[in-house]
Amino acid sequence: MNETCTLFCIFGTNNKNVGQQTPYRLLTNFPPERGKIETINILRAANKATAALAELKGIGKTLPNQLMLINAIVLKEAKGSSEIENIITTHDELYKALAINSLNTTLATKEVVNYRKAMFTGFDFVKQQGFLRFGDILLIQQELTGNNAGIRTMPGTVLKNDLTGETVYTPPQDKQEILDLLSGFIDYFNTPSTEISPLINLAILHHQFESIHPFYDGNGRTGRILNILYLILNGLMEIPILYLSSYIIENKPDYYKLLNLTNKHDDWEDWILYMLKAVEVTSLQTIEKISAIKNLLGKTIEKVQVESPKIYRKELVELLFEQPYSKIEFVVNQLKVERKAASRYLQELERIGVLESQKVGRETLYINKELFELLKK
């Protein structure tokens, strides 16, 4: 399966042989020379991005239940990262798909749900092992794409400009070369970042992975999952709550153009600055999102305590923030109550305006509308 890009393809060339397929820049010199990746501009930007990420890590701990944030941000990242590849779905479709397993969902929705599953799979690997293996990355990509095609073995994969049809990048074609490059990537990925800022390394690693382009499908999405896992491995985050794809969506042409130009000219500054700005901006945006979620949680707790004191339980309100689309089974499992009691809780919360019910097939879903609208923004 040949992958294409939108507007600007990811990779360029330093080969002057215009008549032939555009080859890849030699990827053996990894990482790049320090002088190319630690300019004054880059170091200043790295300091700002590191400070913003540290603030995000700190404020994330202030939530009483971090599952609220993990579920919300991972789903937004899954939706955003897939949207970069023109896989479009809605928040409503996604939450319904998660709440009702038997729902007939669109292919796009299934792909986004698969991305979420793949992110959690990678997160579990990082938490349990403290590193990623070759097989772990294969499994992440497999869950993400829903196939086990694995590493590219057939020649012919090229990246084209969607508008012109021009082949602008031909990634490594030989399977052994791809495996060797991936081995070097994984070694560097798992090496603690001490001398070079881990955020600078993040930009380098992402570029290298996209340049290797090891799979027939899902390279971009797998690479964006690896970005988050790398930050967790290096202690810059504890949970996957950075929504980097939002910045890439808003600056999509630059993302492809700078990947392209870096390969073409081996000039790293603009690419690294782009990635550092993405970390800084999305960290600050997520901090605002956390503050809004905390405020809404506090307001909801107060409302339930005042208007429905007989059913108030902290765990019940928190569940509504873990699962914006809730149902009776969720309450039964979380609170260890009978179905009749769970149904009564949800109906009472709808009566006072905290929830809004919606019939989907045989299921009744209860939507935390204020939270849902907050998460959509």
Question: In order along the chain (377 residues), what is the average pLDDT of each group of 10 residues?
Answer: 36 34 61 93 98 94 79 83 82 80 74 90 96 97 92 82 75 90 94 92 96 92 96 94 90 90 88 98 93 93 97 94 92 95 97 95 91 86
Mention every residue, 6+ apart, whose C-beta is less than 8 A from residue 177: none
**Residue 353 — left, alpha, or beta (φ > 0 → left; ψ -120 to 50 → alpha)?**
left
pLDDT computed for residue 19 by the predictor: 34
User: Is residue 304 a contact partner of residue 312, using CB atoms and an 8 Å limit?
Assistant: yes
Question: How much is the pLDDT for 160?
Answer: 74
Alpha carbon distances (Å) from 176 to 88, 142, 179, 185? 35, 20, 5, 14
* CA neighbours closer than 13 Å in the CB half-sphere of residue 216: 14
pLDDT of 131: 97
For domain 4-289, which CATH number applies: 3.40.50.800, 1.10.3290.10, 3.40.50.720, 3.40.50.300? 1.10.3290.10
Say whether the peptide bond before residue 31 is cis (omega within 30 degrees of 0): yes
pLDDT for res 4: 36
Contact 375, 324 (CB under 8 A): yes
Joined tokens for residue 344: 């009564």
Give the integer Cα–Cα distance in Å for 24 and 33. Answer: 19
pLDDT the model gives residue 170: 78
Letter string b/e over residues 336-374, b meaning 16 or more CB atoms within 10 A of that residue's CB:
ebeeeebbbbbebbeeeebbeeeeeeebebbbbebbbeb
Nearest-angstrom CA–CA distance, 150 and 147: 8
Cβ neighbours of 310 (radius 10 Å): 7
- Rounded to a whole number of angstroms, the CA Rg of the chain reads 22
Question: What is the reported pLDDT for 23?
Answer: 56
271 phi, psi to nearest 5 deg? -65, -45
Domain map (residue ranges) of the chain: 4-289, 308-376
Number of CB atoms found within 10 A of residue 74's CB: 22
Neighbour-count burial of 139, counting CB atoms closer than 10 A to its CB (0-12 exposed, 13-18 middle, 19+ buried): middle
One-letter amino acid identity for 77? Answer: E
Phi, psi of 336 (to 5 degrees): 60, 50
The answer regarding whether domain 308-376 maps to CATH 3.90.650.10 reads no
Q: Letter for the amino acid at 320? A: L
Q: What letter represents residue 115's amino acid?
A: Y
pLDDT at 97: 79
Residue 103 phi/psi, 5° resolution?
Answer: -60, 135
Task: For residue 219, count other CB atoms closer than 10 A to its CB.
Answer: 24
Per-residue model confidence (pLDDT) at position 90: 80
Altogether, the residues listed in the chain come to a count of 377
